[in-house]
Homo-oligomer: A and B are copies of this chain.
Amino acid sequence: MTLTDTHLNTVSRADRYPTRTAEPLAPFARTEPTVWGGLTGPIDPATLAAHDSRGYSRYDGLLSTAEVAAFRAELDRLATDEAVRADERTIVERESAEVRSIFEVHRSSELIAELVRDPRVLDRARQVLGSEVYVHQSRVNYMPGFKGKGFYWHSDFETWHAEDGMPLPRAVSMSIALTDNHPFNGGLMVMPGSQRTFVPCVGETPADHYKASLTEQEIGVPSQRAISLLAAEHGIDQFTGPAGSALLFDSNLMHGSGNNITPLPRSNIFVVFNSVENALVDPYAAAAPRPGFIAARTVEPLVR
């Protein structure tokens, strides 16, 4: 009887990905696939197989030069629009008064609303996740030259699971570069294959953690030991390439970026697609969910 009860209880609210615990837990293998299959799309079989094994795939020239120019103009327009700057979804650096990120931008910009439904973008996400998808998060990022801060190693899924209540790693992010990514101006580093390992993190999530974590992460950080082991096993790749290139990567891929002292700023459009079969529930390791503009709590399947 006791065994049955426990089992039932586990089924009703199973947490296959415990994290933010008081005591360290060892990294363990993920059970869900990276490429879920069942839907066709623009990704060719070899690229899809590589995505499945490495957890990411690159698409040079996803946007044309003209489109890059149009989106850069759109970003300039947004960053100087007083209403946008005053919006809570816009992250403005206190010191410089410069815009760093604008969240939920697929709702505030028609151009980007179109982009998230563009077959080059949407159909790749559907193909990888094997289902209809919706936008879990969208944002544009402006990273300045000279003093651009990087982001320490992390898995996005760890945060989305703990703080947003995303049940499983069935989400995929597309980062579209609007500026050239050199090896030396703070481009994304990834550990290919690391998406197959979940790394639980130590430490309780503080209230309103997202306000600090959007600029510098302190909770939800893997141990140096876990990072070393993953790097030794998988190595490190860097996302470089001309403006218009895109990186599609798994929600559980270990990634980070260095700082940028070069004069070359970086900006990109970042869209997270979640499977409609992976709708958010209550956060697994936070008192309250983050705001909807950071993690959409309603499933609105994208249609064209």
Q: Tell me the chain A residues, 214-233 only, with Cβ under 8 Å from chain B.
A: 224, 227-228, 231-232
CB <8 Å contact, A224 and B150: no
Instruction: Decide if A242 is an interface residue (CB 8 Å cutoff).
Output: no
Whole-angstrom distance from the CB of A225 to the nearest CB of chain B?
9
Which one of A55-63, A102-110, A192-200, A260-268 contacts B? A260-268
CB <8 Å contact, A146 and B224: yes
Bound-state Cα–Cα, A231 to B228, Å: 34
CB <8 Å contact, A238 and B152: no
Known: A186-B258, A236-B262, A257-B261. 16 other contacts (CB 8 A): A145-B224, A145-B228, A152-B261, A182-B236, A183-B238, A184-B236, A184-B238, A224-B263, A228-B263, A231-B263, A231-B264, A256-B261, A258-B258, A258-B259, A258-B261, A259-B259
Task: Give per-residue flags for A139-162: 1 if the beta carbon is below 8 A from chain B beta carbons, else 0.
Answer: 000000110001011000000000
Show 15 residue pairs from A and B whose CB-CB distance is below 8 angstroms, ordered by the A residue. Answer: A145-B224, A146-B224, A150-B261, A153-B261, A182-B236, A183-B183, A183-B238, A184-B258, A189-B262, A227-B263, A231-B264, A257-B261, A258-B259, A258-B261, A259-B259
Interface band, chain A? 20 to 34
- Pick from B183, B228, B231, B258: contact of A260, CB below 8 A: B258
Report which residue of A189, A232, A263, A264 has the largest number of chain B beta carbons within 10 angstroms of its beta carbon. Answer: A263
Minimal Cβ-Cβ distance residue in B for A264: B231
Q: 9 nearest interchain CB pairs?
A: A183-B183, A228-B263, A258-B258, A231-B263, A259-B259, A184-B238, A184-B189, A256-B261, A258-B259
Minimal Cβ-Cβ distance residue in B for A230: B263
- Chain B residues, CB < 8 A from A263: 224, 227-228, 231-232
- Chain B residues, CB < 8 A from A184: 183, 189, 236, 238, 258
Whole-angstrom distance from the CB of A158 to the nearest CB of chain B?
17
Whole-angstrom distance from the CB of A284 to the nearest CB of chain B?
26
Task: Give per-residue flags for A259-288: 1 if the beta carbon is below 8 A from chain B beta carbons, else 0.
Answer: 111111000000000000000000000000
Bound-state Cα–Cα, A146 to B186, Å: 15
